[in-house]
Amino acid sequence: MPAKPSFPGFSAERALQLARDTFDIEARALLGLKARQDANFGRACQAMLECTGRVVVMGMGKSGHVGRKIAATLASTGTPAMFVHPGEASHGDLGMVTPGDVVLMISNSGESDELGAIIPALKRLGVTLVAMTGRIDSTLAQHAHITLNSAVDQEACPLNLAPTASTTAQMALGDALAVALLDARGFREEDFARSHPGGSLGRKLLMHVRDLMRSGDELPRVGPQTAFTEMLREMTGKGLGFTAITDAAGAVLGIFTDGDLRRLIERGADLRALLAADVMHKGPKLVSADALAVDAADVMEQHRITSVLVIDAAGVLVGALNSNDLMRAKVI
């Protein structure tokens, strides 16, 4: 087994202090970033809103990693966007950029050779070029149509070399663009869910009752004149802990649950002499098949019940839903 590396100069106290210093430096960088923004921020947002193509984000090194995140955030909040690596752009990927695009170039120094090499080609395409740079007198800023100032006074790195506070500022400025754009587009929770169908919000906002309900032969139902023993067989066979009572047209008259059964037994009722109509609970909670599953969950929670009956637009019973169905679908 190899020996563990030794760091005799390590101090847990110094590590903690450096962490706190990092937070302080980066917090100051964000406050400084706030003060540096001007009318160019609004101009950049307007250009991205009005572009007929996509926002193409480019950056090298750490700025490239930030750029990938910014492109992903924009795309998931209603602004079509993608990341193109500037090094690959010089070798064919520039074909991904169209005249209707807005290109967001990110470089703290504003002197990245890879970005500078493709600026002439982008200008020939006629795209709108937005620079995000820490030096507003840089080559990138001079060639850009719009410049966003992402300068920081100090990196959090003790050597003041590694991109730390500067990448934090870039990330925050990208988030600010995304927030301003989604607000201008009237982007809503439902829109967010459509681009995140695999997430919990997507399940809550996109999944409908009809997607989860038990229907057909799985649905326990009897008529009002059904004998009590036959009704119990229907409940037991379908395993949902209740049965719906409907008329000949399928309209819901009532419901009978395991809880109702326990209360009848406690009262000592003669169960063999009863019909479904004698014991059903009238006015059960109903939800529409077109309702969101999360709304059905709210009904169950509000009324402290574990199941609801599902009806169609005509009021006909078409299904049933219980809390286990919602938990399996991770709606609750």
- Of 77, 37, 52, 102, the closest CA to residue 181 belongs to 77
Q: Given pLDDT bands bounded at 50, 70 and 90, which one contains residue 318?
A: very high
Domain with CATH 3.40.50.10490 in the chain: 12-187
- Of 60, 65, 70, the closest CA to residue 117 belongs to 60
> How far apart are alpha carbons 61 and 250 in whole angstroms?
65
User: Options 3.40.50.10490, 3.30.70.60, 3.30.1490.110, 3.40.1160.10; which CATH number does 12-187 get?
Assistant: 3.40.50.10490
pLDDT of 188 strictly over 80:
no
> How far apart are alpha carbons 105 and 134 in whole angstroms?
12
Q: Hey, what amino acid is at 220?
A: P
The arithmetic mean of pLDDT across residues 110-138, rounded, is: 95
> How far apart are alpha carbons 118 and 141 in whole angstroms?
14
Angle (CA) 171 182 294, round 5°: 110
pLDDT confidence of residue 200:
55
pLDDT of 201 strictly over 60:
no
pLDDT confidence of residue 9:
84
pLDDT of 196 strictly over 60:
no
> Which tens digits make up the pLDDT trace of 25-48?
999 999 999 999 999 999 999 999
The arithmetic mean of pLDDT across residues 152-173, rounded, is: 94
Which of 41-50, 104-113, 115-124, 319-328 is predicted with the least confidence, judged by mean pLDDT?
Answer: 319-328
> Which tens digits make up the pLDDT trace of 233-250?
998 888 888 999 999 999
Q: What is 209-328's CATH superfamily?
A: CBS-domain (3.10.580.10)
pLDDT confidence of residue 51:
94
pLDDT confidence of residue 194:
61
Mean pLDDT of the chain: 90
The arithmetic mean of pLDDT across residues 56-69, rounded, is: 96
pLDDT confidence of residue 141:
97
H-assigned helices in the chain: 12-36, 39-50, 61-76, 86-89, 113-125, 139-143, 165-184, 189-195, 200-206, 209-212, 228-238, 258-267, 276-279, 293-303, 323-328
Domain with CATH 3.10.580.10 in the chain: 209-328
pLDDT confidence of residue 131:
98
> How far apart are alpha carbons 152 and 135 in whole angstroms?
10
pLDDT confidence of residue 140:
97
Q: Quick check: 146 and 128 in contact, CB under 8 A?
A: yes
